[in-house]
Structure 1
C-alpha cells in the first residue's frame, strides 16, 4: 500500500523535515542563548512544533546534541574536502585552502563553533563523540599528507598519526581560545599562522620519512 502524502510530501519526508527543524532549532538555541536553554519545551517552541514530534525523533537531549554535532562535523568535512579540491597544487596552497574552508565554516556562523566547542563537551558521551570527530579529521590530515608527499608505498608510521592528531587537537584548542578573545589576532592571521604550523610539521615529517 502506498504511503499517504499531503501536498505531495510523504510521511517519511515530513518526519525528516521535522527532525531537521528540531536540529536547526537546537543550533539556534545553543548558538544564541546557551546550552542551558536546550529543553524540550524550548526546542519545540523554537522549531514551531508540538512536543510529540520531539519524541518522534529523539529520546534525550544528548540525542539532539549528538545529531547536531554530527551534522556540523559532516559540514566541516565537506567544506575541507572542497577546499582541497580547489586548492593550488603546492604544500602551502593546499594547507591554507583546507584550513580556510574549515575555519570559515565555523566562524562565518559562530553558532556552529559554539556547538563544536561547547556542546561537544557537555557530557562524557558527547566528549567521546567530539574526540572521535578530532580523530576523523586527524585521519584526513594524515591521509592527505601521505598522498601528497608520495609516502603511500611505505609502511604506515605511527608518527604520522601522532603529528596529525597533534595538529588537529592543537587547532581545536587554539580556535577555542581565539573565539573567547584570548588571542588578539584577526581571522586571516589565525589562518596564516595555522598554515605555517601545518606546513612546517608536514614538510619536516616528509623529509624524515622520504627515501634517501
Structure 2
C-alpha cells in the first residue's frame, strides 16, 4: 500500500505530479484550443489544418487529441462557442454599464462592447465570421442558433426601450434579424479585407444602421 496523495501512473487516472486526471485533461484541452485558435484563426486556417499539425503546435500527441475531440470540426465548434460566449459577456457588461443612458447612447455602448470583444483578437474575428461558414450542416445549425440568440437579445432590448417610451412599440424581430445579418456580412467582408475602415468607422455605420432599423422613417 502506498501513501495517500502519492504520484500514480497517469494512465490509471490518479494523481500525477500533484494534478488529478481531470486537471490534466482540462489542461490538455486548453492547449489544443489555444493551438487551434492560432492555426484556425490565422495560418494555415481551418480548411488547411491537420490533426498532426495541431498536435505538434500544442506539444501533445495524436492519441491525446482523440481522447479529447472526435475531429478538427469539433475543435472548431468549441472555439466558435467560446468566441460567442466572450462576445456575450462583453455585451451584457456594456448593457449593465449603459443602463441609465438614453437609447441612442446605450446602442452605441453595446455595439462598441460587441465589436471590441470580437476584434480585439483578429483570430477570434476570423473564426466567428469566416472559418465557421459553410463547414458542415452541423456547424451551420450551431452558427444559426447562436445568431438567433443575438436576435433575441436585440429584440428584448428594443422591447424594453419601447416600454419606456424611447421607441414606438412594434414587432422588432424582422428588423433585428436584418441587422444581425448586416453585422455578420459587414464584419466578414471587413475581416476578409474587402474594404479599409477603422473600428470607429465600422461602429458609426452599425450604430446608424441599427437606429434606422428600429425606428420608423420620419414623415416627409
TM over 0.5: yes
Is 1:97 aligned with 2:109? yes
Deviations 1:100-153 (A, max 9, x none): 1111122221101110112211222212211111111111111111123218xx
TM-score, normalised on structure 2?
Answer: 0.83
Normalised TM-score (structure 1) = 0.86
Residue 53 of structure 1: how far off its partner (Å): 1.2
Deviations, residues 88-107 of structure 1 (Å, cap 9, x unaligned): 52112111111111111222
1:52 to partner: Cα distance: 1.3
The match for 2:20 is 10
SS in 2 for 1:6: coil
1:42-73 superposed Cα distances (whole Å, 9 cap, x missing partner):
11111111111111111122211111111111
Instruction: Give yes or no for the alignment of 1:160 onto 2:172.
Output: yes
5+ long unaligned stretches in structure 2: 6-12
Gaps of 5+ in 1: 208-212
Find 1:71's aligned residue among 52, 71, 82: 82
Following TM superposition, the consecutive aligned residue runs of length 4 or more in structure 1 with deviations greater than 3 angstroms are: none
Number of residue pairs matched by the alignment:
201
| Structure label with greater radius of gyration | 2
Give the number of the structure whose residues are more often helix, by fraction. Answer: 1
Alignment of 1:107-122 (within 5 A): 107-121=119-133, 122=135
Matched, 1:42 2:58: no
- Correspondence for 1:143: 156
Matches of 1:177 and 1:119 in 2, distance apart?
13
Match of 1:84 in 2: 95
What secondary structure sits across from 1:9 in the alignment?
A: coil
Kept in 2, the 8 Å contact 1:27–1:68? The answer is: yes
Measure, in 1, the Cα distance between the counterparts of 2:145 and 2:198: 29
Q: Is the 8 A contact 1:92 1:199 kept in 2?
A: yes
Aligned partners of 1:150 and 1:29: how far apart in 2? 46
| C-alpha displacement of 1:200 | 2.2
- Post-superposition shift, 1:7? 4.1
